[in-house]
Chains A and B, each alone.
Chain A
Amino acid sequence: MASIALSSVTKTYGTHTVIRGVDLDIADGEFVVFVGPSGCGKSTLLRIVAGLVPASSGQVLIDGEEVTDVPASKRGVAFVFQSYALYPHMSVERNIGFALETMRLGKDAVRRKVETVARMLKVDHLLARRPRELSGGQRQRVAIGRALVREPEIFLFDEPLSNLDSDLRMEMRIEIARLHEDIKTTMVYVTHDQAEAMTLADRIVVLNQGSIEQVGTPLELYQSPVNRFVAGFIGSPRMNFADLAAGSGTNGFALPAGFLVDGGQPTSVGVRPEALSIVAAGAGRMDGILERVEDLGHEHFAYIRLSDETIWVVRVAGRPPAERRNQLVGLSFADADIFVFDGEGKRIAHRSSSALPEGVPAEGRLLHER
């Protein structure tokens, strides 16, 4: 059991800065997920915590003690890799128990521990096999078992499920969540899959180009992203954005009159696909051409062209939209679902929906004219 603290951690490779001054506190027993686009530095940050990559500057603390210069082997952490990184020439049993061999526990104690862990991860019938005789899911279970058997203070996972197919990924996701509930060890988990991030995390850390954009619970990030990047990154399909036209807004997108923002200059807006609904042309807040519908069975994604550059996605749950392709349709949504951003992409709070009286005509609030 241990907490983790990073303070002003940076990492540069040559002249290339990969991590830019990261400060982060992870509480004992917490499940924290790093998400961000590929190449943003998630793995590097996790490796800095593990001690596999030395930080260029800044400090790493584990359980309050500075470990910046402590080698990986002395940090008491366990690391699960995307590639599993199992020892190909050893049986599953030896793979799991290998780290215990130098701990002077005695053969029987090692075997007992390995068996307990193997049973827990449902690989106890595979103990005699070699890694290459296992499926991907089984290999990852063995890799997790190898981490688990040492009873580490901290678990670090680097995209452990990315090599698995989607069914298996979901199954393993649930097992990792259950594992965390059982052992309550601090876990840091890197993924680019936001479904994994949302379902596993106590808190999510959104990284972008080596900096932290926002740290918060999954719901916080979804409901109140601090900026356009986080708003776009959390949620699937991603949030629809539109730039506001300069000036009064007779042409292009504009905020409705009487829409109150708390300071700042609104320059763009966003609405999530699930907050939109399709109505008859003219009956919503703006009109567009229905270009395409993707049917996933239980939900449908309608692509609506609002202007030459702007296509918005609408998530339609349940039955597919009745409107036909290339038809002009209207879009409706609530004021509360509008996210407003300033010129630097920072989100600006607004108090429109409660402030506006009922019955104001839909047209003229957030409006688009073709």
Chain B
Amino acid sequence: MSAKLARREHRTAWLFLTPLVVVMLMVAVWPLGRTFFFSFTDAYLDDPAVYGMVGISNFIEVINDPAWWSAVRNTLTFAVISVAIETLLGLGIALLLNEAIPGRGLLRAAILVPWAIPVVVATKIWEWMLNDQFGVFNRILISLGLIDHGIAWTASSSLIMGVVIFIDVWMTTPFMVLLILAGLQTIPGEMMEAAEVDGIPAWKRFWSITLPLLKPAIGVAVLFRSLDAIRMFDLAYVLAASNQNVMTVSIYARDRLISFQELGVGSAASTWVFLLVALVAIILIGALRLDRSAGE
């Protein structure tokens, strides 16, 4: 390609990219930049125009707050356990759906239902089902004779994290299934047949062929889900508002910002959340080698 042609192609490319870049600047870079800026101020939410620069003291205040660290612990616990369960469950269901079983199309559609329900709606439904007096869940357990009076699943501080993880697994496993199923379908059927004819046992076919070839798909799915889980807000907030036991870092930042009106500290907390997400993303991308192509 001549230099002139290359230049013209570059110009065309920029022409197409410009609207996107403008939108990105408006909806992402601008708010992020504002947040970053406010985290160095002592502004309050009722009048953000009045502020003084305070350096990094907001950041220090956040990391000196035990509530912040409890939120970090909650968030990481939630992220690690829920993503792990979702990945294993998603892999299992995807493997089942990938088999030529009758009614597979219907099952595939059905499995998407939990994912299609808005988080708030799903959370409210589960909250009711888990209610200690009227919930169908306790009713079943009682009628089976497993317990003699209803358990307050969503009120008990020791159970609530389990409930949050459970609802998240219920809601987002379909997403995992879908991504892993897409990965499974890129594995050539003839290759698996070759292994079958060659007398490779099923466990070895899975372990040495399916899993390595699925690694990029699982990696992308785990990355998406992990980043989602670390900035999780809606589920825990709808279920338990500011309950210390399931307070995530996003809820912590929101409380500082809205409940306490501390624009400066809240922004600093938000920036910490952003850095936490970025750190996890970098670690995951490095560990899963997602920047390399499959089979590398």
| Shortest Cβ distance from residue B187 to the other chain A in the assembled complex, whole angstroms | 10
A305 near B: Cβ within 8 Å? no
Cβ of A78: which chain B residues have Cβ within 8 Å of it?
197-198
Q: Are A85 and B191 in contact (CB under 8 A)?
A: yes
Binds B, one of A6-14, A34-42, A69-77, A183-191: A69-77
A52 near B: Cβ within 8 Å? yes
A229 near B: Cβ within 8 Å? no
Which of B188, B197, B200, B212 is A98 in contact with, Cβ under 8 Å?
B200
B148 near A: Cβ within 8 Å? no
Binds A, one of B48-56, B201-209, B237-245, B266-274: B201-209
Cβ of A71: which chain B residues have Cβ within 8 Å of it?
196
Cβ of A72: which chain B residues have Cβ within 8 Å of it?
193, 196-197
Cβ of B213: which chain A residues have Cβ within 8 Å of it?
88-89
A86 near B: Cβ within 8 Å? yes
| Shortest Cβ distance from residue A101 to the other chain B in the assembled complex, whole angstroms | 8
B190 near A: Cβ within 8 Å? yes
Q: Are B196 and A81 in contact (CB under 8 A)?
A: no
B205's nearest neighbour on chain A, judged by CB, is A73
Cβ of A101: which chain B residues have Cβ within 8 Å of it?
204
A102 near B: Cβ within 8 Å? yes
B187's nearest neighbour on chain A, judged by CB, is A88
B199 near A: Cβ within 8 Å? yes
Q: How far is the CA of A83 from the CA of B196 in the complex (A)?
A: 16
Q: Are B188 and A85 in contact (CB under 8 A)?
A: yes
Task: Name the residue in A51, A75, A102 with the highest tally of chain B Cβ atoms < 10 Å from its Cβ.
Answer: A102
| Shortest Cβ distance from residue A82 to the other chain B in the assembled complex, whole angstroms | 8
Q: Are B200 and A102 in contact (CB under 8 A)?
A: yes
| Shortest Cβ distance from residue A176 to the other chain B in the assembled complex, whole angstroms | 18
Interface size on A, residues (CB 8 A): 28
B295 near A: Cβ within 8 Å? yes
Cβ of B197: which chain A residues have Cβ within 8 Å of it?
50-52, 72-73, 75, 77-79
B213's nearest neighbour on chain A, judged by CB, is A89
B194 near A: Cβ within 8 Å? yes
A130 near B: Cβ within 8 Å? yes
Encoded as 1 (CB less than 8 Å from any B CB) or 0, chain A from 88 to 124 comes to 1100000000110110000000000000000000000
| Shortest Cβ distance from residue B199 to the other chain A in the assembled complex, whole angstroms | 5
Q: Are A79 and B199 in contact (CB under 8 A)?
A: no
Cβ of A132: which chain B residues have Cβ within 8 Å of it?
295
Q: Are B188 and A83 in contact (CB under 8 A)?
A: yes
Q: How far is the CA of A146 from the CA of B191 in the complex (A)?
A: 12
Q: How far is the CA of A75 from the CA of B295 in the complex (A)?
A: 30
| Shortest Cβ distance from residue A67 to the other chain B in the assembled complex, whole angstroms | 13
| Shortest Cβ distance from residue A150 to the other chain B in the assembled complex, whole angstroms | 6
Q: How far is the CA of A81 from the CA of B193 in the complex (A)?
A: 10
Q: Are B295 and A98 in contact (CB under 8 A)?
A: no
B189's nearest neighbour on chain A, judged by CB, is A85
- B174-220 contacts to A (CB < 8 Å): 188, 190-191, 193-201, 204, 208-209, 212-213
Cβ of B188: which chain A residues have Cβ within 8 Å of it?
83, 85
A87 near B: Cβ within 8 Å? yes
Encoded as 1 (CB less than 8 Å from any A CB) or 0, chain B from 264 to 296 comes to 000000000000000000000000000000110
Q: How far is the CA of A84 from the CA of B198 in the complex (A)?
A: 14
Q: How far is the CA of A78 from the CA of B294 in the complex (A)?
A: 28
Q: Are A86 and B198 in contact (CB under 8 A)?
A: no
Q: Are A89 and B212 in contact (CB under 8 A)?
A: yes
Q: How far is the CA of A204 from the CA of B197 in the complex (A)?
A: 24
Q: Are A87 and B198 in contact (CB under 8 A)?
A: no
Q: Are A73 and B200 in contact (CB under 8 A)?
A: yes
Cβ of A150: which chain B residues have Cβ within 8 Å of it?
198-199
Q: How far is the CA of A88 from the CA of B194 in the complex (A)?
A: 13
| Shortest Cβ distance from residue B223 to the other chain A in the assembled complex, whole angstroms | 20
Cβ of B194: which chain A residues have Cβ within 8 Å of it?
79, 81, 85, 146
A-B contact list, 11 entries, CB within 8 Å: A73-B199, A73-B200, A73-B201, A78-B197, A83-B190, A86-B191, A89-B212, A89-B213, A98-B195, A102-B200, A146-B198
**10 extra interface residue pairs, beta carbon distance < 8 Å, beyond A86-B191, A88-B213, A132-B295:** A72-B193, A73-B201, A79-B197, A81-B194, A83-B188, A85-B194, A98-B195, A98-B208, A99-B198, A150-B199
Q: Which 7 A-B pairs have the closest CB atoms?
A: A99-B198, A85-B194, A89-B295, A85-B190, A79-B197, A73-B199, A85-B191
